[in-house]
Amino acid sequence: MNVLEHVPLAPLTTLGVGGPARYFVEAHSESDVREAVQFAQIRDIPLFVLGGGSNLLVSDAGFSGLVLKVSLCGGNCTANGNDVTFQVAAGDNWDAFVAHTVEEGCAGLECLSGIPGSVGGTPVQNVGAYGQEVSETIREVEVLDRQSLPVKTFTNSDCGFAYRTSIFNTTERNRYIILHISFALRRGGEPTIRYADLQKTFAGATGPPTLLQVRNAVREIRRNKAMLIVPGDDDARSAGSFFKNPVIPQRQFEDLDIKLRSRDLILPSFPASDGFRKLPAAWLVEHAGFAKGYSRGAAAISRRHALAIVNRGGATAAEIIALKNEIQSRVLSEFGIQLQTEPVFLGF
Ligand X SMILES: Cc1cc2nc3c(=O)[nH]c(=O)nc-3n(C[C@H](O)[C@H](O)[C@H](O)COP(=O)(O)OP(=O)(O)OC[C@H]3O[C@@H](n4cnc5c(N)ncnc54)[C@H](O)[C@@H]3O)c2cc1C
Residue 239 in the binding site for ligand X (CB under 6 A): yes
Please select the residue that binds ligand X; options are 57, 66, 89, 227, rule is CB under 6 A.
227
State the nearest-atom distance from the C-beta of 114 to ligand X, in Å.
Answer: 7
Residue 317 in the binding site for ligand X (CB under 6 A): no
Residue 344 in the binding site for ligand X (CB under 6 A): yes
Please select the residue that binds ligand X; options are 10, 17, 21, 70, rule is CB under 6 A.
70
Residue 185 in the binding site for ligand X (CB under 6 A): no
Nearer to ligand X, 17 or 129 (CB): 129
Nearer to ligand X, 118 or 245 (CB): 118
Please select the residue that binds ligand X; options are 19, 131, 209, 240, rule is CB under 6 A.
240
Among the residue ranges 21-29, 37-45, 124-132, 249-257, the one whose residues contact ligand X (CB under 6 A): 124-132
110 is a catalytic site residue: no
Whose CA is closest to 255, among 235, 281, 279? 279
Cβ count within 10 A of residue 264: 6
**Count of residues in contact with ligand X, rule CB under 6 A:** 34
Cβ contacts of 328 within 8 Å, gap of 6 or more: 243, 338, 339
Cβ count within 10 A of residue 241: 21
238 is a catalytic site residue: no
Q: What's the CA gap between 88 and 119, in Å, rounded?
A: 7
- Considering only residues 143 to 182 of the shown chain, the ones binding ligand X according to CB under 6 A are 168, 177-178
Cβ contacts of 26 within 8 Å, gap of 6 or more: 2, 32, 69, 71
Catalytic residue among 164, 215, 222, 237: 164
Backbone angles phi, psi at 189, to 5 degrees: -70, 155
SS3 content of the chain, % helix, strand, coil (to 5): 30, 30, 40
Residue 128 in the binding site for ligand X (CB under 6 A): yes
Among the residue ranges 148-156, 191-199, 231-239, 273-281, the one whose residues contact ligand X (CB under 6 A): 231-239
- Considering only residues 104 to 123 of the shown chain, the ones binding ligand X according to CB under 6 A are 115-118, 120-122
State the nearest-atom distance from the C-beta of 127 to ligand X, in Å.
Answer: 4
Helix spans in 245-292 (H): 250-261, 281-287
241 is a catalytic site residue: yes
Q: What's the CA gap between 336 and 279, in Å, rounded?
A: 13
Residue 53 in the binding site for ligand X (CB under 6 A): yes
Residue 55 in the binding site for ligand X (CB under 6 A): yes
Residue 99 in the binding site for ligand X (CB under 6 A): no
State the nearest-atom distance from the C-beta of 48 to ligand X, in Å.
Answer: 6
Cβ count within 10 A of residue 261: 11
Q: What's the CA gap between 227 and 342, in Å, rounded?
A: 15
Amino acid at 196: A
3-class SS of residue 84: strand
Give the distance, in angstroms, between the CA of residue 206 and the centroid of all CA atoms in the same chain: 34
Nearer to ligand X, 65 or 240 (CB): 240
Residue span 276-305 as binding mask against ligand X, x where in contact by CB under 6 A, dash where not: ------------------------------
- For 294-326, give the DSSP string: -EETTEEE-SS-TTEEEE-SS--HHHHHHHHHH
Whose CA is closest to 242, among 176, 180, 173, 315? 315
Q: Return the active site residues.
A: 164, 241, 342
Residues that bind ligand X (CB under 6 A): 14, 48-56, 70, 90, 115-118, 120-122, 124-125, 127-129, 168, 177-178, 227, 229, 236, 238-240, 344
